[in-house]
A and B are shown apart, each in its own frame.
Chain A
Amino acid sequence: MLDRLSPQNLRILALFVVLGLVLAFFATQVDNYFNARLFNRISASVAIMALIATAQTLVILTRNIDLSIGSVVGFTAFATGAMVAANPGISPLLLVAYAMAVGAGFGVVNGLLVAYARVPAIIVTLATMAIFRSLLVEFADGKSITSQKLPAWLTDYPNTVLFSLAGVEFRAAFMTSVVVVALVHLALTRLRPARKLYAVGSNPEAAEMAGINQRAVVFTAFVLAGALAGLGGFMFLARFGNITVVAGLGFELKSVAAAVVGGVNIFGGSGTVAGALIGAILVDLIDTSLVRWPLVSEFWREAVLGALILTAVAVDAILMRRLIAWRLRREKARNAARAAAEAQA
């Protein structure tokens, strides 16, 4: 099995195992651990983070990074709120499209600067993180969005129970997010143009030689990431209702963390959004569970998260090196055996 399974699938398998172990561990530590509240708490925050981690993954796959993503979420949440407050009758779909278009617009700015002006992504998005945030401050002009200004359908939407299984409620926001992530995952694995994201991140030189338009690919990744972050902004608005100019602050690093824990290689070329989703869930699960673990103060949450990221990356790097070396050795042995057999014949 080890020589057939792709590293991508191995990672997802490993993540599920870790997820299971974490659940099993806390089940022995916390009374009445498995309850509906656990699922609801996690699903509510994962609904937003999964989208943003997915957006971040698209960019990281191409060997870039988007540090402006938190500001994009904040801006779109606010702008979408302002839009619906001014036009209460607006159709929900139009509102979602608006959020995504605003996000994509920011993605265009990042994409142009990175792909066409050739400024390193870390510099561009470090700057646009601040610039987009200051645009939000300018746009907000000292006001903030409050849930009273929003139509009921919007604030009700995240908590609408679509169906429930054995008391576990599957709510609309979470399901939307899961469906979107699944669609992106499908696209990344099944759509041929999307595979170019992997090609560009995996070996930019080879991509150029093979006739892939690198710049267009990187540009597209930033635009799509912006659109997904815009959708994340919409979800943020729906969940919290009250939006200030600090909305989405810190999401840039959290999304990178979720992606990295989910097995996305920070140097591009490998990783899946399914992994990023599980990474987001894992991060949130540990976060939520530590609060309920009586043995340890809930203030250990971040420290544990940091350790988790480091462990995930170190173990991943070491295991992947071993796996590749092992496969190479076996291949050599097999070739030698074949050569010996041919020599005998």
Chain B
Amino acid sequence: MTILKPLLGWEGFLLAVLIAIIAANAALSPQFLTLSNQINLFQLSIEKIIVALVMTFVIINAEIDLSVASMMGLSACAFGWFFQQGVDPVAAIGLCLLIGVAGGAFNGWFIARVGLPSLVVTLATLIGFRGLARVLVEDRGVSGFPQWFGDLGQKGLIGPVPFALIAFAVLFVALFVLLQRTGFGRKTYVIGTNRDVADYAGIDTGRHKMIIFMMSGLVSAFAGLLFAARVGAVRGDVAQGFELDVITMVLLGGVSIFGGAGSLMGTLLAILIVLNLRNGMALVNITGHIQTGVVGLLLIGSVLVPRINLSALRRRPQKEAT
């Protein structure tokens, strides 16, 4: 058994599931395989799947970031607020991205420097960032953004393919290279596997975690802006509750909640599975909450299924690392 084989195995399994779902969907509806349905399928969840890419880094690093959806909300609301104050929209976009980096640095500081558990810190900022979003827009909605901003979210940029989907593709390639092909990615795995080993090898693990949380903040803020562009209006509850969907996708992709294992390819396959599954269920009129429930079943299954084979081989189940 090597590090690669079980991952390939898992990714192969995900791929098979994905093909089955696509085949079933295509059989169910002739519309399914049309380009517009395929684009639409991505568009509806584009913010979540973009954040799932960076969440993959966070969880492989053996941390968690519950604050991503609130950061999306904060960034969207900040954009609305800047817009209302008459700030140039381009400058406002830059400021919102800065807010994302700052929020991530805030999380990272408490986690990497003070040494608090990321579960608690990002739970607090989940509430806190959302709170700041509400401070900015209170109970109003902000809309009436410039035409070009809305077009970015709604219209096709290259043919029918919208900006957000291109951004997702570019980000996926960039982050894939970063995680799988660079020293930074290598360190992400090592620290997630065993932080002490990384420390003893001279890696600045605190700084690394800091950077990862800043990335998480930046990408979340970007996703929040995409949301604002796509919907054309912002409110205090933008993206509320998205964090759990995002984490589900990453875990389903085979990323270990204990860190150190998983890949962006797995996350991508899980994203495609979730999107196609939801789309297929929508085709047969299954509602949103039930769809989420099915995804939940899939998540538990994804942990249990590979274990069934193993437990037949191992007499006593080994304790999970904590």
Contacts and interface: CB of A to CB of B under 8 A. Distances in A.
- The answer to whether any beta carbons of A and B sit under 8 Å apart in the complex is yes
Interface of A: 63, 65, 67, 113, 117-120, 122-124, 126-138, 204, 245, 249-250, 253, 256-257, 260, 266-267, 297, 299-307, 309-310, 313-314, 317-318
Given A204-B322, A310-B124, A317-B116, A303 B299 contact: no
B10 to A, nearest CB: 15
B185 interface: no
A127 B120 contact: no
Interface in B98-122: 110, 114-117, 119-121
Contacts of B291: 134
Contacts of A253: 66, 123, 126-127
B290 A138 contact: yes
Given A266-B119, A297-B135, A128 B296 contact: yes
Interface stretch (B167-175, B199-207, B226-234, B244-252): B244-252
Contact of A127 (B66, B126, B127, B300): B300
Contact of A130 (B115, B119, B296): B296
A116 to B, nearest CB: 10
Looking at chain B's contact residues, the main secondary structure is helix
Given A137-B289, A302-B131, A124 B125 contact: no
A300 B289 CA distance: 31
B293 A133 contact: yes
Interface string B250-269: 01000001100000000000
A302 B130 contact: yes
B30 interface: no
A131 B319 CA distance: 26
Contact of A133 (B258, B289, B297): B289
Interface in B256-298: 257-258, 287, 289-297
B135 A300 contact: yes
A253 B295 CA distance: 20
Nearest to B303: A119
Contacts of A126: 244, 247-248, 251, 296, 299
Contacts of A318: 114
Given A127-B299, A309-B123, A309-B128, 18 more contacts: A119-B300, A123-B299, A126-B247, A126-B296, A129-B296, A130-B293, A131-B297, A134-B291, A135-B293, A204-B322, A260-B120, A266-B120, A297-B135, A299-B134, A302-B127, A306-B130, A309-B124, A313-B124
B60 interface: no
Given A123-B303, A127-B296, A297 B138 contact: yes
A61 to B, nearest CB: 15
A305 B127 contact: yes
Nearest 9 pairs between A and B by C-beta?
A306-B128, A134-B293, A302-B131, A303-B131, A130-B296, A127-B296, A309-B124, A306-B127, A137-B289
A135 B287 CA distance: 12
B129 interface: yes
B131 A306 contact: yes
A123 B110 contact: no
B293 A67 contact: no
Contacts of B128: 302-303, 305-307, 309-310
A309 B127 contact: yes
A117 B290 contact: no
Contacts of A134: 289-294, 296
Contacts of B322: 63, 204
Q: Which of A67, A253, A299, A305 has the most CB of B within 10 A?
A: A299
B62 to A, nearest CB: 12
Nearest to A296: B135
Given A300-B131, A303-B128, A317-B116, A257 B123 contact: yes
B88 interface: no
A130 B292 contact: yes
B317 interface: yes
B130 A131 contact: no
A169 to B, nearest CB: 30
Contact of B123 (A132, A135, A256, A303): A256
Given A134-B296, A135-B293, A138-B290, A123 B251 contact: yes
A305 B128 CA distance: 7
A122 B257 contact: yes
Contacts of B236: 299
Nearest to B291: A134
B132 interface: yes
Contacts of B120: 260, 266, 309, 313
Contacts of A313: 116, 120-121, 124
Interface string B205-246: 000000000000000000000000000000010000100100
B3 interface: no
Nearest to A252: B244
Contacts of A63: 322
Contacts of B287: 137
B71 to A, nearest CB: 12
Contacts of B1: none
A267 B257 contact: no
B304 interface: yes
Nearest to A308: B124
Nearest to A116: B317
B24 to A, nearest CB: 20
Q: Which of B129, B132, B293 has the most CB of A within 10 A?
A: B293
B290 A299 contact: no
A122 B247 CA distance: 10
Given A119-B300, A266-B120, A310-B110, A301 B131 contact: yes
Contacts of A306: 124-131
B133 to A, nearest CB: 8
Contacts of A130: 244, 248, 289, 292-293, 295-296
Contacts of A303: 128, 131-132, 134-135
Contacts of A304: 131
Contacts of B294: 134
A318 B258 CA distance: 25
A63 B120 CA distance: 13
